[in-house]
Copies of this chain bind each other. A is one copy, B any other.
Amino acid sequence: MESIEEKVSNKQVLAKDYINGNPKATDMYLKSSTISLQLPPDTSNAVLVKNLYLSCDPYMRGTKKRDSRLFYSFSPDSPIIGYGVCKVVDSTHPGFNRGDLVWGVTKWEEYTVITITDSLFKIEHTDIPLSYYTGILGMPGMTAYAGLYEIGVPKKGDHVFVSSAVGAVGQLAGQLAKLMGCYVVGSAGSKEKVEILKNKFDFDGAFNYKEEHDFNAVLKRYFPEGIDIYFENVGGDMLEAALLNMKRRGRIVVAGMISQYELDEPQGIKNLVNIVYKQIKIEAFTVYDYYHLYPKFLETILPYIREGKVTYIEDTDEGLESGPAALERLFTGQNAGKQVIVVAQE
């Protein structure tokens, strides 16, 4: 027996095709479809959500390395897949009720039926802007927390270098290190971003890597005694320079190596042998292995946000239709702070 349900309009952003490398706005298109606001009665363990905020993240790109564990944002004529903050409109899942606010993996459209609910976290604390759950309180925040504490293992007084330091992950990693009493220097790709690092995040130093030709000399200047922790987001020449400037038993926390993914053949890292001379650890990780720490993370970070001890910068665009251009901007480094798309106010 089928009920005749009212359908509503559902704007979507779809991928034209699989992509290679960084997405461009022209790789996506807008479409208007329709959706019922009630889940079919025979679906179980699903939620239908209204998407409020959508997240642009650096992993949302094409790659030659297809790791079956990870989801891909781009499939032909399918809505872009990514993180978002959503309100539950209908649910056949015992863990979620109509009206619940959640964050997790959704799609770039107004309404989404989510059947893989493992990645959804209920939002319990709403005194903080909901959009923060795409960033500082969501996946990028957990990435910074897990990388810094679980892999970097900072001690008071450690000297910490963060590349891509204004990005959603870098800005929190650096501020958490500062709060632990570390000396923190960040790199970023514009004068404006360097100002943010120095004045808004209170880093001890910051430089624009586009204006520097000798990364080794720059790091020597900021770290005359060497680096204890390098929070690595870029790879390539910056990694080469960092390897020369690490202290004995330094830790390189690898959140990403964004400079390498687009190359036909990745750059050979000549200074790797330095890890032997200085007993260095290099460890790459994915946040998926650390979500069990999310409650502990919230306990740490919520008071910091409420007390104004961490600052968080968002770069917000209004409307689902702004999504393709916003995502392209993320990869050309034109955004400053976490790139968020506002689809709907609650």
A residues touching B (Cβ–Cβ < 8 Å)? 65, 67, 69, 235, 248-249, 254, 256-257, 260-261, 265-273, 275-286, 289
Contact = CB atoms under 8 A, between A and B. Distances in A.
A284 B277 CA distance: 8
A273 B257 contact: yes
Contact of A270 (B268, B275, B282): B268
Contact of A283 (B248, B272, B281, B285): B281
Contact of A235 (B260, B273, B282): B273
A86 to B, nearest CB: 28
Contacts of A269: 268-270, 272
Contact of A266 (B248, B260, B267, B270): B270
Closest 7 CB pairs of A and B: A268-B268, A281-B283, A275-B284, A266-B273, A268-B270, A282-B282, A260-B273
Given A67-B248, A275-B283, A278-B284, 7 more contacts: A65-B277, A257-B276, A266-B272, A268-B270, A269-B270, A276-B284, A281-B284
Contacts of A279: 284-286, 289
A235 B271 CA distance: 12
